[in-house]
Amino acid sequence: MGNFEPVIVAFCCHYCAYTAADMAGSMRLSYPSNVKIVRVPCTGKVDIKHILQAFHKGADGVYVAGCLEGDCHFKNGNTKAARRVARAKKLLSEIGIEEERVEMITMSAGMGERFAQTATDITEKIRNMGPSPVKNIRVGQTQPA
Ligand code: FES
């Protein structure tokens, strides 16, 4: 796995994590280019199917980054997202894929450093885990080859 560079998909809430990513940029904090940001209006809009689809399309790790508890602009989108992430973890583990490949993170718009550190930590963790086994699953299979 010497040259393995993971693809990480980060579903980022427009009001917090996406703005924190901007903040990281303006603070000139670097984070790995492995992280591909998908901006969403609220993490409550991220469904399990989006998480699984990201793996199906080649992601090695996925995280959902929402507002801090009690700060969701749509009241409870982040708590809904946390429940869906927990469900996605369970589904992945049922088919033999490490549940640690999916995480729920919360932060505020001003947490540029937290955004950069999270992106770095998750990329490193997935790099150490190796490529997602989903890449080896063919249509009709239920287990990685
Ligand atoms: Fe940010 Fe809902 S508005 S998680």
CA distance linking residue 143 with residue 140, whole number of Å = 9
Residue-level pLDDT at 134: 84
Judge if the beta carbon of residue 20 lies within 6 A of ligand 1: no
Judge if the beta carbon of residue 61 lies within 6 A of ligand 1: no
Q: Is residue 136 part of a domain?
A: no
pLDDT tens string 45-102: 999 999 999 999 999 999 999 999 999 999 999 999 999 999 999 999 999 999 999 9
Q: Is residue 88 part of a domain?
A: yes
Angle of CA points 56, 123, 82, to nearest 5°: 65
Taking the centre of ligand 1 as the mean of its atom positions, its distance from the CA of residue 6, in whole angstroms, is: 26
Q: Is residue 144 part of a domain?
A: no
- CATH number (domain holding residue 64): 3.40.50.960
Taking the centre of ligand 1 as the mean of its atom positions, its distance from the CA of residue 16, in whole angstroms, is: 7
Q: How confident is the model at residue 111 (pLDDT cuts 50, 70, 90)?
A: very high
What residue numbers bound the domain in which 125 lies? 8-131
Judge if the beta carbon of residue 67 lies within 6 A of ligand 1: yes
pLDDT tens string 8-28: 999 999 999 999 999 999 999
Taking the centre of ligand 1 as the mean of its atom positions, its distance from the CA of residue 77, in whole angstroms, is: 6
Please report the sign of the dihedral spanned by the C-alpha atoms of residue 44, residue 47, residue 48, residue 51.
Answer: negative
Statement: the pTM of the whole predicted model exceeds 0.85: yes
Question: DSSP letters along the chain, please?
Answer: -TT----EEEEEETTTHHHHHHHHHHTT----TTEEEEEES-GGG--HHHHHHHHHTT-SEEEEEEPPTT--TTSSHHHHHHHHHHHHHHHHHHTT--GGGEEEEE--TT-HHHHHHHHHHHHHHHHHH-S-GGGGPPTT-SS--
Please report the sign of the dihedral spanned by the C-alpha atoms of residue 119, residue 124, residue 127, residue 128.
Answer: negative
Q: What's the N-to-C CA distance of the chain in angstroms?
A: 18
Q: Number of structural domains, the chain? A: 1
Q: Is residue 142 part of a domain?
A: no
Q: Looking at ligand 1, which atom is closest to the CA of residue 66? A: 4
Is residue 1 predicted with pLDDT exceeding 60?
A: no
Judge if the beta carbon of residue 74 lies within 6 A of ligand 1: yes
Q: Is residue 50 part of a domain?
A: yes
Judge if the beta carbon of residue 42 lies within 6 A of ligand 1: yes
